[in-house]
Chains A and B, each alone.
Chain A
Amino acid sequence: LAKTTQPISMDSYEGQEVNITCSHNNIATNDYITWYQQFPSQGPRFIIQGYKTKVTNEVASLFIPADRKSSTLSLPRVSLSDTAVYYCLVGDSLSGGYQKVTFGTGTKLQVIP
């Protein structure tokens, strides 16, 4: 399976923009880059995915450079409610590994008042 690497934890003050970068050097040409958010005692929730360049929705933005070997999740003006674990995922479609993905340990974001 294509592997991802992201920081274990990050702290940010309320109102700041937070950028979480994930590296995925072995990403397949066909695969999307997907990010999930998990609050304590809840299941993960899909927040955004992209294939290239930039994607934006009501929750976050996702920046993907041309080589697609990394991606950056951007959370604008975070609040205390954004405290969560954020997971970056890619599949492995070329080797037939599209049937499952690996969540890893994610990045624990702590927003400070």
Chain B
Amino acid sequence: NAGVTQTPKFRVLKTGQSMTLLCAQDMNHEYMYWYRQDPGMGLRLIHYSVGEGTTAKGEVPDGYNVSRLKKQNFLLGLESAAPSQTSVYFCASSYDPRSTGYSYEQYFGPGTRLTVT
């Protein structure tokens, strides 16, 4: 099993450009998440999905859009990149916590390092 994979690993954008980050998981997890982590900071939740075709806002959703057309994929889009979006982006997946007795074990991808100039 590959677990959680993220594409690309690195990217440099100019202000105003757009891009899509792809996350894929092969564990048949219902839940998927997008986090960002700024230098020296903890992780902040951008958007999450509790199932195919559903998405919800997290703590810092502004400037991002997401889609979950297939259960195994979760896409994060930046329509008009800004320097404030320079960060490392992590995708994660998990089972529905209700099915695991409210366990919060999430599986993380390796991250995408994004720089916006």
Q: Are A and B physically bound partners?
A: yes
What is A's interface to B at a CB cutoff of 8 Å? 28, 30-32, 34, 41-46, 49, 51, 87, 89-91, 93, 98-106
Q: Which label, helix, strand, loop or mixed, suits the secondary structure of the A interface? A: loop
Q: Which of B33, B42, B44 has the most CB of A within 10 A?
A: B42
A/B interface sample: 5 pairs, CB < 8 A: A32-B104, A34-B105, A44-B92, A99-B50, A103-B44
Known: A49-B104, A49-B105, A99-B50. A106 touches B42 (CB 8 A): yes
Count of interface residues, chain B, beta-carbon cutoff 8 Å: 29
Cβ distance B103 to chain A, nearest Cβ, rounded Å? 5
Cβ distance B113 to chain A, nearest Cβ, rounded Å? 8
Could you tell me the distance between the alpha carbons of A93 and B101 in the complex, rounded to whole angstroms? 10
Q: What are the residues of chain A within 8 A of B44 when measuring CB–CB?
A: 103
Q: Which of A34, A43, A44, A93 has the most CB of B within 10 A?
A: A43
Q: Is B90 an interface residue (CB 8 A)?
A: yes
Q: Which of A49, A89, A100, A101 has the most CB of B within 10 A?
A: A100
Known: A99-B50, A100-B48, A103-B42. A44 touches B108 (CB 8 A): yes
Contact status A46-B105, CB under 8 Å? yes
Q: Is B58 an interface residue (CB 8 A)?
A: yes
Closest 10 CB pairs of A and B: A43-B108, A105-B42, A103-B43, A98-B97, A34-B104, A30-B102, A103-B42, A46-B105, A93-B102, A31-B102
